[in-house]
């Protein structure tokens, strides 16, 4: 009887757990996986209406589309430049703000985190004002005896503005993850290292980074996915310009779906390209970063 009661209790606990998981699981299936499958099927269709048939023409078109190649270059540029700078800066700030002897830590943490809670439209308008022809940045450059830069009217300066905006907006977000990880590391580890003569730099590379490796891996994967799907800054900050010099793949998907003559099959093919790219890069990062014995 006791064994039967124990099994019954375990089953009840299991059913209770599934009852809590089921609503979230259903929502993910309905609003994430089902649209994903439909997008894959749509990307494989060519033609419209009764003439629609399955083919790979949408994917072969990607290789020939000059605008897509430009958007791909822009997206890769943002990923290669912005993500490492942002994550390193977030880690350094987290270490500095985790110092127990630092006064006013809460204020500094809040100030650094606030940008990611700022309205996208508001911060886009601020950056447009800062980097305009007569904006504060050019006034500062002129005051230093340098030539003003047409930040939003030239391709490379406009890309740099987007990188700066992304770093400003998302560094604090990643810093919070690192702070949470640092607070789970026992202070006695650092005290023992200090007694053994380890410098702060040695402690950072020999203790902090190895123990934070799972958190670093998590933020790297999230930042990779977010950058490859980057849309807001390209849309609101530069409108993809000048020309299409700063347009991302996600922005181009929006253009081909709702601005130009709608071509949902081709847009779905670009979406599948992003999906596969995120999956491959995430798998590589997990393979490299998650080396557990």
| CATH superfamily, domain at 66-289 | MetI-like (1.10.3720.10)
- Confidence at 2, pLDDT banded by 50, 70, 90: very low
pLDDT tens readout for residues 42-84: 999 887 665 667 778 999 999 899 999 999 999 999 999 999 9
List own/partner pairs for 119-125 with CB under 8 A and 24 or more apart. 120/232, 120/236, 121/236, 123/165, 123/168, 123/169, 124/165, 124/232, 124/233, 124/236, 124/237
> What is the C-alpha to C-alpha distance for residues 144 and 142, in angstroms, rounded to an integer?
5
Tell me the per-residue pLDDT of 261-290, one tens digit each, with 9 for 90 and over: 888 999 999 999 999 999 999 999 888 876
Q: Over the stretch 10-52, which tens digit does the pLDDT of each residue have?
A: 788 888 888 999 999 999 999 989 999 999 999 998 876 656 6
DSSP state of 196: T
């Amino acid at each position: 009887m006791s064994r039967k009661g124990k099994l019954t209790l375990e089953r009840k606990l299991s059913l209770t757990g599934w009852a809590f998981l089921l609503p979230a699981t259903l929502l993910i299936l309905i609003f994430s996986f089902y649209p994903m499958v439909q997008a894959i099927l749509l990307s494989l269709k060519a033609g419209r209406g009764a003439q629609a048939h399955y083919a790979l023409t949408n994917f072969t078109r990607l290789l020939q589309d000059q605008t897509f190649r430009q958007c791909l270059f822009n997206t890769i540029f943002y990923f290669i430049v912005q993500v490492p700078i942002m994550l390193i800066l977030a880690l350094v700030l987290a270490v500095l703000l985790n110092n127990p002897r630092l006064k006013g830590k809460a204020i500094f943490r809040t100030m650094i985190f606030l940008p990611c809670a700022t309205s996208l439209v508001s911060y886009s308008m601020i950056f447009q004002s800062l980097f305009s022809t007569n904006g504060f940045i050019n006034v500062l450059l002129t005051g230093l005896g340098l030539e003003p830069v047409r930040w939003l009217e030239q391709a490379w300066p406009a890309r740099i503005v987007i990188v700066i905006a992304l770093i400003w907006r998302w560094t604090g977000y990643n810093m919070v993850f690192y702070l949470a990880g640092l607070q789970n590391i026992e202070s006695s580890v650092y005290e023992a290292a200090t007694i053994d003569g380890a410098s702060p730099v040695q402690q950072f590379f020999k203790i902090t980074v190895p123990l934070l490796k799972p958190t670093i891996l998590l933020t790297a994967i999230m930042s990779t996915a977010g950058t490859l799907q980057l849309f807001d800054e390209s849309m609101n900050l530069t409108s993809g310009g000048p020309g299409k010099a700063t347009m991302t793949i996600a922005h181009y998907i929006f253009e081909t779906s709702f601005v130009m003559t709608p071509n949902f099959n081709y847009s779905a093919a670009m979406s599948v390209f992003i999906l596969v790219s995120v999956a491959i890069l995430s798998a590589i990062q997990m393979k490299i970063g998650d080396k557990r014995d």
